[in-house]
Amino acid sequence: MSLLANQVAVVTGAGRGIGRAIALKFAAEGADVACISRTAENAGKIAGEVRALGRKAWAWAVDVGNASDVAAAAEKILADAGRVDILVNNAGITRDGLLMRMSESDWDAVLDTNLKGAFLFNKAFARAFVRQRSGRILNISSVIGLIGNAGQANYAASKAALIGFTKSVARELASRGITVNAIAPGFVETDMTAVLNEQIRGELLKTIPLGAFGQPDDIAQAALFLASPAARYITGQVLTVDGGMVM
């Protein structure tokens, strides 16, 4: 039997990279998927891929940092799907720059998407999870939230805060049978890392004991485990998937 048979998952940032891999992995294991992306084009594309696997899919273009957009999307998803069993907060952006040169707008953009977005989606579906006394929430953090990185004060702050947020919400919702965990990916082959030049890639590889960047599917496999019945007794934890960078 499929691990997520007949469950409904909401995945933000589903249009590409890690989010796309998670959406497809969940669909392959029997879940219907509400695909959230910043653009209608990306949301529609991944929804089509989910449907090609024989599952239902809904496509939504949402600014995850906009409270009214998130509330409207959540209300429609619950109306169309009937319930939500899994929420994956994966939407994230970078606006890198040294602290002395970082603009307030770049700080705000990263915190709004990476942290506020998770807050808004968790809040939007919390009541539904509480009513059904079940649910899996996964927040996608980063190893940068654990170790920091020069030129990424905004990104590191958002991802570190997401870990604290995860632990707090896990404590709030545990009595209702809802688990809340975080995944901290290392350097993964996505559009975010594709812009790195060969010199930087080479230096980064030296910091990874396994000697290679991860693949989106590595994160999707971890997400599948935490969303599955096998992880029913795990909550408030951070699963680091990084090839050994952070030990």
Tens of pLDDT, residue by residue over 117-168, are: 999 999 999 999 999 999 999 999 999 999 999 999 999 999 999 999 999 9
pLDDT at residue 192, rounded to an integer: 67
Task: Tell me the CA distances in angstroms from 197 to 106, 191, 192, 193, one per residue in order.
Answer: 22, 13, 12, 9
155 is catalytic: yes
Assign 10 a pLDDT band (cuts: 50, 70, 90).
Answer: very high
Residue among 26, 60, 121, 155 flagged as catalytic: 155
Evaluate if residue 96 carries a pLDDT over 80.
yes
Evaluate if residue 191 carries a pLDDT over 80.
no
Give the tokens for residue 69.
Answer: 């957009």
Where do the domains of the chain lie?
Answer: 8-239
Assign 200 a pLDDT band (cuts: 50, 70, 90).
Answer: confident
Mean of pLDDT values over 97-110 = 98
pLDDT at residue 193, rounded to an integer: 73
Q: pLDDT (tens digit, 9 = 90+) per residue, 19-52?
A: 999 999 999 999 999 999 999 999 999 999 999 9
pLDDT at residue 206, rounded to an integer: 93
Percentage of the chain with pLDDT > 90? 94
**Mean pLDDT of all residues belonging to the chain:** 96
Indicate the fold that domain 8-239 takes in CATH.
Answer: Rossmann fold (3.40.50)
Measure the CA–CA gap between 156 and 141, rounded to whole angstroms.
Answer: 9
Evaluate if residue 195 carries a pLDDT over 80.
no
Give the tokens for residue 80.
Answer: 């169309």
pLDDT at residue 34, rounded to an integer: 98
Predicted structure pTM score: 0.96
